[in-house]
Amino acid sequence: MKSDIILLGHGSGGKLSHQLLDDVIIPRLSGVAQKDQNDAAVLTSPGGRLAFTTDSYVVDPIFFAGGNIGDLAVNGTVNDLAMAGARPLYLSVGLILEEGLPISELEQVLDSMKAAAAAADVRIVTGDTKVVPRGKGDRIFINTAGIGTFEHDREILGSGARPGDRILVSGTLGDHGMAVLAGREGLELQSPIESDSAPLNFMVADLLSELGDALHVLRDPTRGGVATTLKEIALQSDVDLTLEETQLPVSDAVRGACAILGLDPLFVANEGKLLAFVAPQQSEAALQIMRRHPAGRQAAIIGEVTGQSAGKVFLRTAIGGLRSIEMLAGEQLPRIC
């Protein structure tokens, strides 16, 4: 009586739930047999300080060029821990499945989670699965929470930007958001756009160890894009920022697709990029560290902290004008992650 789609009974906690765990989930996500499972994982605590974060993923569609909701959910939480300056160690996974989801699609998503966890060197240690009736969910939602440890005693906070800091981005803008949008809308693009979904923890580890106190802020520009994230940092740090439009790395494919759709890549989500604020003397070194990593090949210095003030972000345009940048208003791109 095996089913090839998700049934409501798979969420009952009874026999079908146990079958789903034994046949589909545990072989992919966990090395721990159900017989040895308990309500919570017991882990060795690294001591000192812990980082703890959570994110739910509701991206539509669940499969897109360059990834799917599974690797996105692992990389996103790995990156949130890394942006706090932590080394990611452990992840939890909470699945909310819609009745009727093909089990083959679930398997594909779980396989991607396993591969992403291995690539980022984190362990998935605990999980939960719920099922909702058709029309009360959308195929699959995934929550990942994560625990990280600190291998230094610095604080990497959004409030750490200082006048003179150079602003670096680790690569091109808007790839993830445009890949998802293209998939959702069935856009036929001349040059396909792939999501940039990737773990950034190894790049962060190098930045932390090699830049020392010159590294002031780390943040991944996901929902709301680089513009919204920089506006948040400017407000948290009470500084003004100025970006150089000509220095913003944007692929031709993303630039073209954005132009057609009336979107600005500065506001489009990224899932494998980071922003770093670095003391000016170390900014070239930071650029070289980023470029050593596959996800940082197109890293660039895109602006600087121009003053101590009320959290304004300016863009110096290609023709030399100065435009004020605000946070994303409304729902430019819903369900992008």
- The correct pick among 21, 25, 29, 86 for binding its own copies (CB under 8 A) is 86
Q: Which is nearer to its own copies, 7 or 65 (CB)?
A: 7
Q: How many residues bind its own copies (CB under 8 A)?
A: 92
Q: Which is nearer to its own copies, 128 or 252 (CB)?
A: 128
Residues recorded for the chain:
337
- The correct pick among 46, 61, 100, 249 for binding its own copies (CB under 8 A) is 46
Could you give phi then psi for residue 296, rounded to 5 degrees? -120, 15
- The correct pick among 49, 255, 291, 316 for binding its own copies (CB under 8 A) is 49
Query: Closest distance between its own copies and the C-beta of residue 319, in Å?
Result: 27
Query: Closest distance between its own copies and the C-beta of residue 224, in Å?
Result: 4
Considering only residues 293 to 312 of the shown chain, the ones binding its own copies according to CB under 8 A are: none
Mapped to the 3 state alphabet, what secondary structure does 74-110 carry?
HHHHHHHHHHCCCEEEEEEEEEEEECCCEHHHHHHHH
- The correct pick among 43, 118, 260, 310 for binding its own copies (CB under 8 A) is 43
- The correct pick among 3, 18, 32, 246 for binding its own copies (CB under 8 A) is 18
Q: Work out whether 96 is an interface residue with its own copies (CB under 8 A).
A: yes
Could you tell me if 268 and 225 are in contact, meaning their C-beta atoms sit under 8 angstroms apart?
yes
Q: Which strand ranges, in their side-by-side order, compose the sheet holding 140-149?
A: 123-132, 87-98, 140-149
For residue 293, give the DSSP letter: S
Strands 87-98 and 123-132, how do they pair?
A: parallel
Considering only residues 118 to 137 of the shown chain, the ones binding its own copies according to CB under 8 A are: 125-128, 130-133, 135-137
Q: Work out whether 5 is an interface residue with its own copies (CB under 8 A).
A: no
User: CB-side exposure of 133: number of CA atoms within 13 Å?
Assistant: 0
- Spatial CB neighbours of 137, under 8 Å, sequence gap ≥ 6: 96, 97, 98
- CA dihedral (243, 244, 246, 248) in degrees, to 10, reads -30
Q: Which is nearer to its own copies, 141 or 305 (CB)?
A: 141
Q: Work out whether 16 is an interface residue with its own copies (CB under 8 A).
A: yes
Point out which span in 139-147, 186-194, 196-204, 315-323 binds its own copies (CB under 8 A). Answer: 139-147
Q: Which is nearer to its own copies, 128 or 284 (CB)?
A: 128
